[in-house]
Amino acid sequence: MSTANPWVMVGKVTFGKGVFAKTTIPQGTDLGQVTGKVIDDADYTSAYCIDLGDSLSLEPRTPFRYLNHRCEPNCSLHLLEVVYEDGSPAPSEVHLEALLDIPEGAELTIDYQWSADGAIKCLCGSDQCRGWVVAMEELPQLLKSRARAAKKASKPKAKSAPKPR
């Protein structure tokens, strides 16, 4: 049993699954709440989880579980502050919103904005691709630490190389 989302459907992409527009989606559309299991563990991590702040993560259910990353996404996640009836803060709701007009059949993507220590190479192929699946503000730190690692790795080699005569 599942309530079908009127906007999106899960489809196949070359490396797994993706989320696609079932119909034309106007910019600014709230595509629905990303539901799932809220996990209260600061160390929790998975390929799909969404950081809700503090120690909370959301492990999303289908269809939004299959949102893929793109450095130029057409959607983004919004955290909605929620309060219980007595006014105390409840876990935030996550909603997906269309950043652009999206044609029917197009894949919906978000910017994962991972931290530098979890970054992997990005193959999204967009013109603005950062080369890494990483948050824009974490990119300088990532590139610096990569450059440092490359220098370290090449040092012993340089020392043992024979001196040119």
Residues 52 and 47: their CA atoms lie apart, in Å, by 15
Q: Which string of x and - marks every residue 124-163 that binds Zn ion (by CB under 5 A)?
A: x----x----------------------------------
> Does residue 122 touch Zn ion according to CB under 5 A?
yes
Nearer to Zn ion, 90 or 136 (CB): 136
Nearer to Zn ion, 39 or 139 (CB): 139
Q: Is 54 exposed, middle or buried (0-12, 13-18, 19+ CB in 10 A)?
A: exposed
Question: Do residues 117 and 83 make contact, with C-beta atoms less than 8 angstroms apart?
Answer: no
DSSP H stretches of helix in the chain: 139-160
Residues 145 and 109: their CA atoms lie apart, in Å, by 28
Q: Which residues contact 88 (CB under 8 A, 6 or more apart)?
A: none
3-state secondary structure of 66: helix
Choices 35-43, 64-72, 135-143, 156-164; region in contact with Zn ion by CB under 5 A: 64-72
Nearer to Zn ion, 57 or 109 (CB): 109
Contact with Zn ion (CB under 5 A): which of 19, 34, 67, 71? 71
Closest contact distance (angstroms) between CB of 72 and Zn ion is 8
Choices 13-21, 50-58, 83-91, 115-123; region in contact with Zn ion by CB under 5 A: 115-123
Instruction: Give contact residues for Zn ion (rule: CB under 5 A).
Output: 71, 122, 124, 129
